[in-house]
Structure 1
Amino acid sequence: MPSAETSPTFRDELVKLIPAMRAFARSLTNNAADTDDLVQDAIVRAWSHAGQFTPGTNLRAWLFTILRNRYYSVAKHQQREVGDPDGVHTARLTISPAQEWGIAGRELKAALMKLPVEQREALVLVGGAGASYEEAAEICGCALGTIKSRVNRGRARLADIMGMDPGDTGLGAPTGMGTSSAWDASHPVSSH
C-alpha cells in the first residue's frame, strides 16, 4: 500500500482543497500576498508530513488545522514587527473595482474583519468553506457547541454591522445550504 506522500489520491485531494484553503487563509490574513504565503507554507508542511496523515480520515480538517496553526504561529512572531495593521497604506495602493459586486464584496470583507477572529474563522469555515459544524470544531480545537455559538454570534454581529436582518447574511448555514453572493464575489476561486 503506498504511503500518503506518494499516493495520487492524497495529492489530488490536496489540490482540490486549495481554493477552500485560500478562502480560509484570506479570512485570517486580509492580505492577498500573506494569503498566498500562508497557503503555500501549509501545503509544504502537509506534504512534508504526509506520512502522519491517516488515509480515510478527514483531509480537509487536517489541512485547515495545519493552516490555522501556522497562521497563529506566524502572527505570534509578527507581533514584534511594525507594519500596516489597519491596511491604510496598502488600501491607497489598490485600485477599487467599478463593479457593484466588488463593492459588496469589500463591504462584507470589511464587516468580517470587524468580528473577533474566533467568530470570523467559524463563519468562514461553516459559511464560506462549507465545513460542517463538526469539522469546524475539529479544526478550531473546540467543542461543537462552541462553534455553533460562535457562528450564531458572528452572524448576528455581521448582520448588525452591515445593517441587515440576521437571516439575510447567508453565512453560517449548514453544509449544502449555500453561501452569499457577496462572499463568492469577494473570494473568487482562482485557477492558479
Structure 2
Amino acid sequence: MTTLEFSYSLNKLSSSLKPFALKLTRDMDDANDLMQDTMVKAFTNKDKFTEGTNLKAWLYTIMKNTFITNYQRMVRRGTFVDTTDNLHYINSGDVLVENGAYGDFTMDDIHEAIEGLDEVYKTPFMMHYRGFKYHEIAEKLDIPIGTVKNRIHIARKILKDDLHVYRHKN
C-alpha cells in the first residue's frame, strides 16, 4: 500500500473513530487530541501494518492503547513514592483541602444550578441521575426516548455552562 493510499484510508476511517475517542475521554477536546495522536502513531508506524488485515481494528487498538498509556502517565504523575522503611505509595494531588468548606460551597453551587433548570429538563435529568434508564424515564413521563435523551443532554450542557468556574484546567 502506497503512502497516499494509506493516508486516504486513514482519512476515510477517521470519522468512525471519533465516537470511540469521545467515549473513552468524555471530553471533545481530549477526544480530538486522542484522534490526532492515533493518526500520527498510525502514520508513523504504517510499515507495521500488514496489508490485507483490518485497518479499522488496527486503528481502534492504537487509540485504545494510546488512551491507556496517557491515563497511566497522568496517574503516575500524581503519585510519589514514600522512601521511608514502609515504602507506601501515596496519591498526592496539587491541592490539599484542610476542611470540607470548599466542597460544601461546590455542592451548594451544584444544587443551585440544578434547581435553576427548567422543570422540563430537571425532571428527566434527576431521574437519570438517580439511576433510571432512558426507556424508564420515557415511560414514566410519557414522552419519546429521543426527547428524554435530548433533555438530559441539554440539562448537562446548561449545568456545564453554569458551573464553568469548576472546570479543571491543566
How high is the TM-score relative to the length of structure 2? Answer: 0.47
How high is the TM-score relative to the length of structure 1? Answer: 0.42
The one of the two structures with greater contact order (alpha-carbon pairs below 8 A, sep at least 6) is: 1
Structure having the higher Rg: 2
